[in-house]
């Protein structure tokens, strides 16, 4: 075993999981590209110290395969950046529950066979942390994984918008069990929400009154197909809009979310930003922009930092939600902060200046 190894179990072998597994391999081979990580080192941990020890999915094209192959199942749209050798980690069938929306059920066949006992698997593999990266709106399934992490007494990182870290009853349970809880809804490295919030904050700091704004995207990955189900789309929108509204006391007209699924875009996400405000003496201020990114690496970049910071928290016997890590890496953290402060808290936590 490597001295600095961080043992990670992951639920959901989709877009983010592919970015994560490829990212770990990438940094084993390309130390020179570490500058593209938000934090090249965290504590004493490098990206390649992350080791996947267990994986759970429900899709028949992934369950039973080595995770190195499952991440390249044709249904996953994250492109191949690097060859990944077999890891020996076979994808288990997790609890299906409400994992698949009606739209996902049309393209995913649930794997045959029994669902694995997640708690036993987490204990057997001695995972440090369970990352939950299953579709938006799969509330019962997310809760099942959160409960499994709690019972196995390992940290839980919730990449999904389901309210776990922000839910006081979950926070209390994790705190009582001396287990770290991190979430909710991962924030991508160059994601629509973080950039939109950044533009709005800068304008606000400069004394511009924001009147109306939207950030709407179209994309072609599985998650966007999933959010074609109206209740799931609404779920994601509410989280994004709540994040943005936190910064504004005045009433602004605001919309944020994914507007449509375009299969041919694959892993690409194209975001449109529009902002209208008023400056000095009512001067009109307008921004109209377009952003193009790839979902897989965009989400995994932040996740690689969050996993390493969570291991720092585990080593410090942290328990319950760790506010600085949540505020830094998530759209809906238990304690909200602007981007500047969130980065400051995160760095202070890593330096040991902050306790959570």
Ligand X SMILES: NC(=O)c1ccc[n+]([C@@H]2O[C@H](COP(=O)([O-])OP(=O)(O)OC[C@H]3O[C@@H](n4cnc5c(N)ncnc54)[C@H](O)[C@@H]3O)[C@@H](O)[C@H]2O)c1
Cα–Cα nearest to 46, from 308, 320, 355: 308
Which residue of 9, 54, 141, 150 would you call a contact of ligand X, by CB under 6 A? 141
Segment contacting ligand X by CB under 6 A, of 27-35, 45-53, 54-62, 254-262: 54-62
- Is 299 among the residues that bind ligand X (CB under 6 A)? yes
End-to-end CA distance of the chain: 29
Give the CA distances from residue 200 to residues 94, 258, 347, in Å, rounded to whole numbers and listed in that order.
40, 19, 24
DSSP 126: T
- What is the C-alpha separation between 24 and 297, in angstroms, rounded? 11
Which residue of 6, 15, 68, 183 would you call a contact of ligand X, by CB under 6 A? 15
- Is 174 among the residues that bind ligand X (CB under 6 A)? no
- Is 298 among the residues that bind ligand X (CB under 6 A)? yes
Would you state the structure tokens that stand for residue 85, as one six-digit string?
């050798």
- Is 46 among the residues that bind ligand X (CB under 6 A)? no
Which residue, 47 or 208, is less far from ligand X as judged by CB? 47
Residue 91 near residue 67, CB atoms below 8 Å: yes
- Is 135 among the residues that bind ligand X (CB under 6 A)? yes
Size, binding site for ligand X by CB under 6 A? 36
- Is 221 among the residues that bind ligand X (CB under 6 A)? yes
State the alpha helices, DSSP H only, in the chain.
15-29, 67-70, 102-105, 118-124, 139-152, 168-176, 192-205, 222-226, 230-245, 295-315, 323-329, 339-351
Interface of this chain with ligand X, residues 302 to 331, rule: CB under 6 A:
none
- Omega before residue 184 within 30° of 0, cis: yes
Which residue of 84, 100, 149, 322 would you call a contact of ligand X, by CB under 6 A? 100
- Is 185 among the residues that bind ligand X (CB under 6 A)? yes
Residue 18 phi, psi (nearest 5):
-65, -45
- Is 133 among the residues that bind ligand X (CB under 6 A)? yes
Q: How many CB atoms lie within 10 A of CB 2?
A: 8
- Is 350 among the residues that bind ligand X (CB under 6 A)? no
Which residue, 165 or 203, is less far from ligand X as judged by CB? 165
Give the CA distances from residue 156 to residues 153, 222, 310, in Å, rounded to whole numbers and listed in that order.
9, 23, 9
- Is 97 among the residues that bind ligand X (CB under 6 A)? yes
Exposed / middle / buried, residue 156 (Cβ in 10 Å: 0-12, 13-18, 19+): buried
- Is 220 among the residues that bind ligand X (CB under 6 A)? no
Q: At closest approach, how far in Å is the CB of 128 from ligand X?
A: 19
Q: At closest approach, how far in Å is the CB of 164 from ligand X?
A: 12
Which residue, 285 or 291, is less far from ligand X as judged by CB? 291
- Is 14 among the residues that bind ligand X (CB under 6 A)? yes
Residue 71 near residue 18, CB atoms below 8 Å: yes
Cα–Cα nearest to 247, from 326, 342, 161, 165: 342
- Is 159 among the residues that bind ligand X (CB under 6 A)? yes
Residue 257 near residue 216, CB atoms below 8 Å: yes
Q: At closest approach, how far in Å is the CB of 22 from ligand X?
A: 13
Interface of this chain with ligand X, residues 188 to 207, rule: CB under 6 A:
188
Question: Which spans of this chain sit near ligand X (rule: CB under 6 A)?
Answer: 11-16, 56-59, 94-97, 99-100, 108, 133-136, 138, 141, 159-161, 185-186, 188, 221-223, 226, 295, 298-299
């Amino acid at each position: 075993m490597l001295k600095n190894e961080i043992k990670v179990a992951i639920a959901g072998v989709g877009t983010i999981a592919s970015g994560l597994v490829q990212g770990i391999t990438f940094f084993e081979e390309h130390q020179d590209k570490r500058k593209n990580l938000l934090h090249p080192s965290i504590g004493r941990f490098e990206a390649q110290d992350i080791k996947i020890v267990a994986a759970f999915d429900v899709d028949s094209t992934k369950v039973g395969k080595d995770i190195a192959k499952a991440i390249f199942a044709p249904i996953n749209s994250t492109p191949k950046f690097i060859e990944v050798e077999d890891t020996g980690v076979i994808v288990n069938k997790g609890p299906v529950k409400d994992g698949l929306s009606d739209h996902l059920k049309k393209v995913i066949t649930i794997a045959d066979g029994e669902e694995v006992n997640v708690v036993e698997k987490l204990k057997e593999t001695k995972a440090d942390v369970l990352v939950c990266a299953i579709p938006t709106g799969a509330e019962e399934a997310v809760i099942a994984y959160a409960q499994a992490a709690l019972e196995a007494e390992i940290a839980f990182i919730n990449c999904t918008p389901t309210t776990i870290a922000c839910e006081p009853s979950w926070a209390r349970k994790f705190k009582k069990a001396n287990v770290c809880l991190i979430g909710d809804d991962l924030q991508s490295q160059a994601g629509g929400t973080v950039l939109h919030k950044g533009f709005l904050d800068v304008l606000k700091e400069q004394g511009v009154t924001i009147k109306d704004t939207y950030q709407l995207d179209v994309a072609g990955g599985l998650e966007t197909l999933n959010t074609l189900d109206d209740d799931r789309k609404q779920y994601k929108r509410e989280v994004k809009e709540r994040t943005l509204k936190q910064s504004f006391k005045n009433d602004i007209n605001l919309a944020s979310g994914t507007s449509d699924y375009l299969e041919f875009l694959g892993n690409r996400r194209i975001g449109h930003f529009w902002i209208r405000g008023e400056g000095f003496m009512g001067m009109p201020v307008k921004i109209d922009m377009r952003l193009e990114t790839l979902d897989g690496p965009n989400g995994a970049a932040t996740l690689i930092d969050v996993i390493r910071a969570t291991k720092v928290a585990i080593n410090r016997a942290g328990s319950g939600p760790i506010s600085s890590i949540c505020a830094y890496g998530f759209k809906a953290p238990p304690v909200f902060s602007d981007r500047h402060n969130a980065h400051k808290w995160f760095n202070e936590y890593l330096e040991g200046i902050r306790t959570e």
